Amino acid sequence: MQVILLPALSDNYIFLLHNPKQNVAAVVDPAEAQPVLRRLEELGAELVMIFNTHHHMDHVGGNRELIEHFPNVYVCGSAQDKGRIPGQQVFLQEGDQVEFTDRIGEVIFVPGHTSGHIAYYFFPRVEGETGDLFCGDTLFAGGCGRLFEGTPAQMVDSLSKLRALPDNTRVWCAHEYTLKNLQFALTVDQENLDLQTRYTEVQEARRRLEATIPSQLGIEKRTNPFLRWEQPALQSAVKATEPVQTFARLRGMKDRF
């Protein structure tokens, strides 16, 4: 399975999953249809699946047009989002599995950003290879999503599920927010040498107009403050004493940053 990153709107990423042997494709969170249709035409591939992580328009805005071009496509999303995702036919819950050609993905329920948000973790084909996490707006490179419909406790629980995946997991998050996220992270975790190094590397990448996605989960665990709520340095920075309080204060600070 090849993952093709397609920039969209102002800072979104759409992920096209392509199996060249069968020449079929799936798409994760099509913010708009045209970038997907152009690449499918270049590949000569048929779109067979749409995987939506949540109902926001910058993640489902291309659904209807894609369905018009590929009427047999299956549209997957959270059971909690029934009625909010255009064309949805498959209603998924925690622990369900989805299949795309030779890969199997586990559905992880991750409310917080929205009440029905899900992520898709595609297992490695063989032990030792790398899995792929499509996490929408729950986990970002260096950050996490705003809490529009959920609570800090829900988001800590959701991020804990993602944090438990293998360190070599590729993290395909749906926005190019990394540089600003790391700028904030340095205000609360300034002694973190891994974070300092990462910030320099991301600055250089963005100067070259390179994408910072995918990230790697092990890097997030070392540098992303929203996965490090148990660290004494971060608790001290926000004057908190336990994980949910630490997370809530970090999220509030980031909202105002």
Alpha-carbon gap, residue 231 to 249, rounded angstroms = 14
List per-residue pLDDT tens for the chain, 257 residues long.
899 999 999 999 999 999 999 999 999 999 999 999 999 999 999 999 999 999 999 999 999 999 999 999 999 999 999 999 999 999 999 999 999 988 999 999 999 999 999 999 999 988 778 999 999 999 999 999 999 999 999 999 999 999 999 999 999 999 999 999 999 999 999 999 999 999 999 999 999 999 999 999 999 999 999 999 999 999 999 999 899 999 999 999 999 99
**Per-residue pLDDT, 252:** 96
- Inter-helix orientation angle 178-188/193-207, to 10°: 150
Q: How far apart are the first and last CA of the chain?
A: 38
Q: What is the 3-state secondary structure (H, E, C) of 31-61?
A: CCCHHHHHHHHHHCCEEEEEECCCCCHHHHC
**Per-residue pLDDT, 129:** 86
Q: Which of 56, 81, 96, 117 is catalytic?
A: 56
**Which residue range is the domain that position 124 belongs to?**
2-255
Which amino acid does the sequence have at 68?
E
Q: Which of 18, 29, 54, 96 is catalytic?
A: 54
How many CB atoms are closer than 10 A to CB 244? 16
**Per-residue pLDDT, 169:** 97
Tokens of 100: 């795309």
Catalytic residue list contains 117: no
Catalytic residue list contains 55: no
Q: Which of 18, 55, 58, 189 is catalytic?
A: 58
Cβ contacts of 81 within 8 Å, gap of 6 or more: 52, 54, 55, 88, 114, 116
Backbone angles phi, psi at 134, to 5 degrees: -105, 105
- Tally of domains in the chain: 1
Catalytic residue list contains 56: yes
Q: Which of 18, 113, 117, 132 is catalytic?
A: 113
- Whats the size of the chain, residue-wise? 257
The CATH number of the domain holding residue 154 is: 3.60.15.10
Catalytic residue list contains 69: no
Are the C-beta atoms of residues 117 and 148 closer than 8 Å to each other?
Answer: no
Alpha-carbon gap, residue 53 to 105, rounded angstroms = 13
Catalytic residue list contains 18: no
pTM of the model: 0.95
Backbone angles phi, psi at 141, to 5 degrees: -65, 110
Please give the full DSSP string across the chain, using - where no structure is assigned. Answer: -EEEEEEETTTEEEEEEEETTTTEEEEE--S-SHHHHHHHHHHTPEEEEEE-SS--HHHHTTHHHHHHH-TT-EEEEEGGGTTTSTT--EEE-TT-EEEETTEEEEEEE--SSSTT-EEEEEPPSSTTS--EEEEETTEETTEE---SSS-HHHHHHHHHHHHTS-TT-EEEESB--HHHHHHHHHHH-TT-HHHHHHHHHHHHHHHTT----SEEHHHHHHH-GGG-TT-HHHHHHHT-SSHHHHHHHHHHHHHT-
